[in-house]
Structure 1
Amino acid sequence: MTSNLVALAFDAHEPRELARFWAGLLGRETVDDPDGVFVLLPTRETEFRLEFAHSDEPKRQPNRMHLDLTSTSDDDQQAIVERALSLGARHIDVGQRPEEGHVVLADLEANEFCVIEPGNNFLTDTGVIGALASDGTPAVGYFWSEALAWPLVRDQAEETAIQSPQGGTKISWGGPPVAAKLGKNRLHLDIAPPAGADQHAEVERLVALGATRIDIGQGDVSWVVMADPDGNEFCVLTPR
């Protein structure tokens, strides 16, 4: 039994507005969740949701994870950038070199993301969201490969990446050094065991792989909050 990736969850000061930004950029629809989370619906069964929940916590440092969006041509890359800017994004400098082909932007709440140049071999055949690109050690890549049963598609020079056997978005980690965390990550993964499975047993399996249970003040909720080997928070939802 392994869990499935259900969602990438954003903490947001204005979750509805941030959801509208990403819906407009990705060409998806939003729905209002009964818990007050605004969800972008996937367009394919192999995709995960984007979810946005209210948080008053300030953004203290660059996110450990960001989205890499793909493009099919120079004109398409420029169109994606222009659409993002029209929705409220802005250009930012994170130390990228002039010769690099990707464009680095920030959304309405300063979450970094990249629009990748066409012809990027690593993101070939991945979809609109080519990668969830992360800071992280090799250990965390190995952990998530086991946690999701996604094979490694990169494991060299301390860089790792995994991808579902069905294809789609990759999750990648750039290797050490990994900056110390200043509070809870603003982006985290939500995973869930399949219908009929046991949530407690899945939590224990993840602990055996190197995760830890943590308390971030979640109170009495149906999901279990955990941290991966690099200390990144994630949630194990009820089976579905």
Structure 2
Amino acid sequence: MATRLVQINMKARDDAALGGFWAQALGWGISSEGPGVTNLEPEGFVYPDPVAVCVDLVVSTEPKTVKNRVHVDLATSSVAQQAQLVTRLRDLGATPVDIGQGDVPWTVLADPEGNEFCVLDPRPLYRDIGPIAAVVVDCADPRTMASFWDTATDWTPHEVTDQSAVLRSAKGVGPYLRFVRTPDVKTGWNRVHLDVRPYPGDDLAAEAARLRTLGATVVDLGPSEVPWTVLADPEGNEFCVLTPG
């Protein structure tokens, strides 16, 4: 068995407004499956498909207090296009942010609710990949994270070092999943997390049990009737195992 990374989940004070920003930033369609939830995916996209990792924004009253441990890197095709995209995003409400990045060729911005993201300089690896180049996760040990997520999902490692690890769908399409070593310590719930979905015909309970044997742990939500299962990876990052489909 295996499961698939299908989307990232982002908490938002105003899911509709923040969803509007990201829909324009990515050039994606926007919809809602219910009150307090805004869904983003490419126009004409048939979910799920590894060609894209979708974005769900879910309303939350929890304030943002620390740098997010999960963020997206946006792709560009040229230095000129990078500058144009930064300008357009700032016009939409993004702001420059200093997270200690120093003198780097990419630009670090924050969306209207303060969620950090990067607009990358042009790189051959991300040519023709779509607006999202990578989903990036801060971690203490990229090798451990790569080992877990490689066996947990059908994503394949492309590069693994002590400083970073890069995975991509086994089909060779869509954005990358990148784990980057950082000295920052995880505190509290992640404001942005990964959602995975087992394949049609698989059993949710069996898949959650398999993930636990790989090193995932159960996250106690208290009284809850949600149809998915919340687990944490070996470094404590929460992720949701959705119903198969």
TM class by smaller structure: over 0.9
Match 1:105 to one of 102, 109, 117: 109
CA distance in 2, matches of 1:102, 1:132: 15
CA distance in 2, matches of 1:189, 1:97: 28
| Alignment pair present for 1:169 and 2:175 | yes
Q: Which runs of 5+ in 1 are unaligned?
A: none
2:57 alignment counterpart: 52
CA distance in 2, matches of 1:135, 1:148: 19
1:38 alignment counterpart: 38
| Alignment pair present for 1:134 and 2:140 | no
Match 1:115 to one of 119, 137, 141: 119
CA distance in 1, matches of 2:64, 2:223: 19
Counterpart of 1:82 in 2: which secondary structure? helix
CA distance in 1, matches of 2:35, 2:146: 31
What does 1:150-229 align with in structure 2 at a 5 Å threshold?
A: 150-166=155-171, 167-177=173-183, 179-217=184-222, 219-229=224-234
Structure 1 stretches of 4+ with a deviation exceeding 4 A read none
Amino acid at match of 1:84: L
Amino acid at match of 2:129: T
1:25 alignment counterpart: 25
Counterpart of 1:143 in 2: which secondary structure? helix
Q: Which runs of 5+ in 2 are unaligned?
A: none
- Please, which moves more after superposition, 15-24 or 148-157? 148-157
| Alignment pair present for 1:73 and 2:71 | no
Distance 1:54 1:218, change over 3 A: farther
Amino acid at match of 1:174: V
Q: Is the 8 A contact 1:2 1:147 kept in 2?
A: yes
Match 2:150 to one of 145, 154, 159: 145
- Please, which moves more after superposition, 216-225 or 35-44? 35-44
Cα offset, 1:25, TM superposition: 0.7
CA distance in 2, matches of 1:228, 1:173: 13
Distance 1:204 1:194, change over 3 A: same
TM-score (norm 2): 0.92
Cα RMSD after superposing both structures: 1.5
Name the structure with the higher strand share: 2
CA distance in 1, matches of 2:187, 2:147: 24
Which digits, 9 at most, give the CA deviation of each residue in 1:117-136, with x for residues without a partner?
11x24434533200111211
TM-score (norm 1): 0.93
Counterpart of 2:181 in 1: which secondary structure? coil
Distance 1:123 1:218, change over 3 A: farther
Percentage identity across paired residues of the two chains: 38
Cα offset, 1:109, TM superposition: 0.8
CA distance in 1, matches of 2:128, 2:24: 22
Amino acid at match of 1:110: G
